[in-house]
Amino acid sequence: MIEKSFFIYLICIFALIKNSEQCAQQYQRELRYLDFYLGIAPTKDDGKLQINPRLKNQYIHSARDLNCNFDTECAWNNVDSDDLLDTSDFYLFEKKDGKSFPVQLRPGSPHPEKGTKFILAGNTTQNPQSAVLASSPIACQVSKGRLRFKYWLYNAAKVEVIILKLNPSHGHLQVRSRPKTDCTFLKASEHECIVEIDEMHEPFKIGIRAFQLHDSSVGSLALVTNIHYEAQVCRENEVPSLFGGIPLSSSEPSQKQIFTATDLNCLSKISSCLWSPVYPRGSDHAISLRSLWQSGSNQRLWNEFVPTSENTHPENEFIFQYIDPMSNLPIGQLQSALIPCTATSSSLQFKYWMSPNVQAQVCTVTQQNVSLSCVFLNEAASPGPVTIDIDRGDKNPFKFVIEVIKFDPARAGIFAIDEIQFTGRLCHEKAPETTPTPLGIGTLFELQPFPHITLTNGLPASLACNFENEDCSHWENDDDTFQSGFVPAKIPFKMPKLMKGNVAVALFTRPESFAILQSPVISCAENARISVFYFSSLGARISICADDKCLKEKTREKNFETDSTDTFGHAGELSVNVTTNTNFRLRIVAESVNEDDSNFAESFVLVKKITTEGHICRMKDDTELACEHLYCDFRNGTLCNYNSALTTPDDVPFQHDPNNGIQATLSTVGRRRVVLRSPEFKLNRPAELRFRLLLSTYGAVAYMCPDEFVDNLTEDCELLLGPKIDQSKFENLQVQLDPEISHFAIIAYHDKYQQFGKADVIISDISLVDSNGQALCNF
């Protein structure tokens, strides 16, 4: 049995570090007891840990960087005491002989080899009573991880694994989570401590904590060695994947200044906005370059970074900056294109969101980046919108700069921006003219929406249409931009008699607006001629398009008085000729335009009728088109319109098998999931998806999901096959598709490799049929 006096030396270890002579002799005597009973002794420098300085303040490059048997410098170090979680330190000891450990020190091997090195924490006092060994920073962990190590405990000592935020807050360690740690004194001999660590989407450290070291009678201690970490981690130059983020280009924009205020608007298509990031230069900012400005497209994990009771978030594509907690300010700005000169007051408006303890500011700066004025953005006023007013015109060029000026160094954060709008008039722009009084076209033509009619009997045989006596519902008017109208016999301007009566009307109240009538998909045409009979007012034009080829109304000659009702517009016939063997659509496009001759508050286009000549093949509805998009015989060596999506670290792609179709093999971590994503499609009636699927191994499962980003397969998806697989054979499967479905994903998953071995997943073909099993399209 180990004697009580054996542990008295631990009191002196801490005192000796403080240069107390009172304990020096006792310390040397107790080291001899350690040597006598355990055969261990502190290494050089009185057991000071050997730390790899390269890894102490930068992210590890791979999980192997944390592997440590303490023979060399390691990526683990004692944390500074916070008087709560950590009040002591670990010290490095080495086994000096072949002497066995006594039975009271367990559950590690009682026969460690000579030369084995351990870290030791323990004492016989009430304080200190715990010690934390922390890893070097880990940028993120994109798979489940596993930490294992050998350990020995004596008396009341215990050990646990904790997940730490990167930096202390107010001098205290910040625990992010406590993984389940079942590593006790009572485990079987030579038991290793093994702890599973969940995926981590932000930087963190792993802590090994020895505690309950405060037994004042006989003392307590913990020994640890042979640390091993397995996980897929982000490297230093990798940024965690958040919100479907795509880094914004920091190269110099092709358009360096705006020509009108709306050029600075950023409401969609973020990549084409005239806002770009500017990052600090130099090697000292290597980690800061992880704090990238990106465009986001989804809100997965949003609440982890922006916790709020109001549950607000961007609705569409947005701009955000990922803030790495190891970054140093400045971490990069979002800078607008140059505003050359403003003639009036102007304002910048946007919404914003930020993680807790993040502060930002928006400034106006000169062309040489000298700050003019700034407005601070804080969490309390989020999401806004916030409006930055510039009260008067500025004849000097300036830019807007948005940047984070403070963040929480203990955890990763984000700063997000959406719906950027800039209003004002630039110096070179003309002041707007007084808006004339509207003519009241809506009232004059008795405008009302076209009725929405479902074509229960399918599409008509002819593309032709006369709005005088037909609803022409086979011409799509999705946004209701064309309306039903009636042109009376008497109106305050001249119009051909042909246009009187029932018509389709596109009414515009501002320039640069448009309205579209679109035909169904037409399978082919030979020597076909499609004609539109129309009237367009001043300030409006009409075009007819076959796919991307358009024929526009001729430009009018400017030979009339602008206030003459005799020349209020133009009536005519616009025709396009089509010959093709492939699917195509026709579009009738009405648009409002700026023209010096138009001094009216409203403009409009009337469509009276649409006629056809020559041979026009039958029209196809949405369901038949969906059938063409979804049909695929994978044995022909192609994925057709499908995509083998890779969205998680566990995903593997499908490979072509010329005999069977497409095939994937699922096995260990990193190869447990395969996804087949469909193209986008529309249905106007129910249909059945049929396909042949093979799962080879018990435990494998296949699901039909709304997309590949589902969080829970069993709750969000429909089980197709598995997990009970008695025989490796193709199964004929069918799934009902309702009209509201626009895409799907077939996901196969296998996490039972250790029990049942690898699993093959094969899909041979996919087709779409009606309720009677008849194909909905021909090939």
- Flag whether pLDDT at 126 surpasses 70: no
Task: Round to whole Å and give the CA distance between 716 and 10.
Answer: 56
* Average pLDDT score, the chain: 84
Please count the residues of the chain: 779
Report the 3 state secondary structure along 649-713. Answer: CCECCCEEECCCEEEEEECCCCCCEEEEECCCCCCCCCEEEEEEEEECCCCCEEEEECCCCCCCH
- Flag whether pLDDT at 19 surpasses 60: no
Confidence tier at 433 by pLDDT (50, 70, 90): low
Residue with tokens 């809506």: 442
Contact 334, 400 (CB under 8 A): no
- Flag whether pLDDT at 479 surpasses 90: no
- Flag whether pLDDT at 455 surpasses 80: no
Confidence tier at 233 by pLDDT (50, 70, 90): confident
Domain end marker among 363, 393, 423:
423
DSSP H or E run through 525: strand 525-537
Going by C-alpha positions, the residue among 652, 653, 650, 651 that lies closest to residue 642 is: 653
With respect to residue 434, please indicate whether it lies within any of the assigned structural domains.
Answer: no
pLDDT of residue 371: 87
- Flag whether pLDDT at 258 surpasses 60: yes
- Flag whether pLDDT at 253 surpasses 70: no
Q: What are phi and psi of 300, to 5 degrees?
A: -60, 135
* Tens of pLDDT, residues 259-284: 888 889 998 888 788 998 988 876 44
Task: Round to whole Å and give the CA distance between 420 and 305.
Answer: 22
With respect to residue 373, please indicate whether it lies within any of the assigned structural domains.
Answer: yes
pLDDT of residue 771: 82
* Tens of pLDDT, residues 159-174: 999 999 887 776 678 8
State the average pLDDT over residues 298-309.
81
Lowest mean pLDDT of 306-315, 362-371, 684-693, 713-722, name the range: 306-315
Tokens of 118: 């351990």
Count of domains forming the chain: 4
Quote the domain boundaries for residue 698: 622-769
- Flag whether pLDDT at 607 surpasses 90: yes
Domain end marker among 603, 619, 635:
619
* Tens of pLDDT, residues 60-95: 888 999 999 998 889 999 988 888 887 888 999 999
Percent of the chain with pLDDT over 90: 39
With respect to residue 777, please indicate whether it lies within any of the assigned structural domains.
Answer: no
Task: Round to whole Å and give the CA distance between 611 and 464.
Answer: 5
pLDDT of residue 311: 73
CATH number of the domain within which 161 lies = 2.60.120.200
pLDDT of residue 229: 96
Give 100's DSSP letter: P
**Exposed, middle or buried by CB within 10 Å (0-12, 13-18, 19+), for 769?**
middle
Whether this model's pTM surpasses 0.85:
no
88 and 217 share a domain?
yes
Contact 397, 340 (CB under 8 A): yes
Q: What is the separation, in whole angstroms, between the first and last Cα of the chain? A: 85
Residue 193 CA: distances (Å) to CA of 58, 161, 224, 225:
27, 10, 10, 11
- Flag whether pLDDT at 597 surpasses 60: no
Task: Round to whole Å and give the CA distance between 665 and 311.
Answer: 40
With respect to residue 436, please indicate whether it lies within any of the assigned structural domains.
Answer: no
112 and 42 share a domain?
yes
* Tens of pLDDT, residues 99-123: 899 988 999 999 999 999 999 988 6
- Flag whether pLDDT at 585 surpasses 70: yes
154 and 170 share a domain?
yes
With respect to residue 779, please indicate whether it lies within any of the assigned structural domains.
Answer: no
Nearest-10 crossing angle of helices 24-37, 9-17: 130
609 and 686 share a domain?
no
State the average pLDDT over residues 611-619.
92
For 351-368, b/e burial (b = at least 16 CB within 10 A) is bbbbbeebebbbbbbeee
With respect to residue 696, please indicate whether it lies within any of the assigned structural domains.
Answer: yes
Q: What are phi and psi of 134, to 5 degrees?
A: -110, 145
For 185-222, b/e burial (b = at least 16 CB within 10 A) is bebeeebebebebeebbbbbbbbbbbbebbbeebbbbb
Going by C-alpha positions, the residue among 605, 583, 584, 578 that lies closest to residue 593 is: 605
Going by C-alpha positions, the residue among 247, 242, 403, 412 that lies closest to residue 326 is: 412
Going by C-alpha positions, the residue among 388, 341, 339 that lies closest to residue 360 is: 388
611 and 664 share a domain?
no
614 and 627 share a domain?
no
Task: Round to whole Å and give the CA distance between 496 and 675.
Answer: 60
Task: Round to whole Å and give the CA distance between 767 and 697.
Answer: 25
21 and 95 share a domain?
yes
Confidence tier at 29 by pLDDT (50, 70, 90): low
Residue 88 CA: distances (Å) to CA of 76, 221, 315:
15, 12, 49
- Flag whether pLDDT at 563 surpasses 80: no
State the average pLDDT over residues 311-321.
86
CA atoms within 13 A on the CB side of 9: 20
70 and 154 share a domain?
yes
* Tens of pLDDT, residues 634-679: 999 899 999 998 888 889 999 999 899 999 999 988 899 999 999 9
**Single-letter code of the amino acid located at 416:** A
State the average pLDDT over residues 293-322.
84
633 and 743 share a domain?
yes
- Flag whether pLDDT at 777 surpasses 90: no
142 and 93 share a domain?
yes
* Cα four-point dihedral sign 330, 332, 336, 339: positive
pLDDT of residue 590: 93
Task: Round to whole Å and give the CA distance between 351 and 450.
Answer: 37
Give 208's DSSP letter: E
606 and 626 share a domain?
no
Residues 6+ away with beta carbon under 8 Å from 422: 261, 262, 263, 264, 265, 336, 346, 347, 348, 349
57 and 177 share a domain?
yes
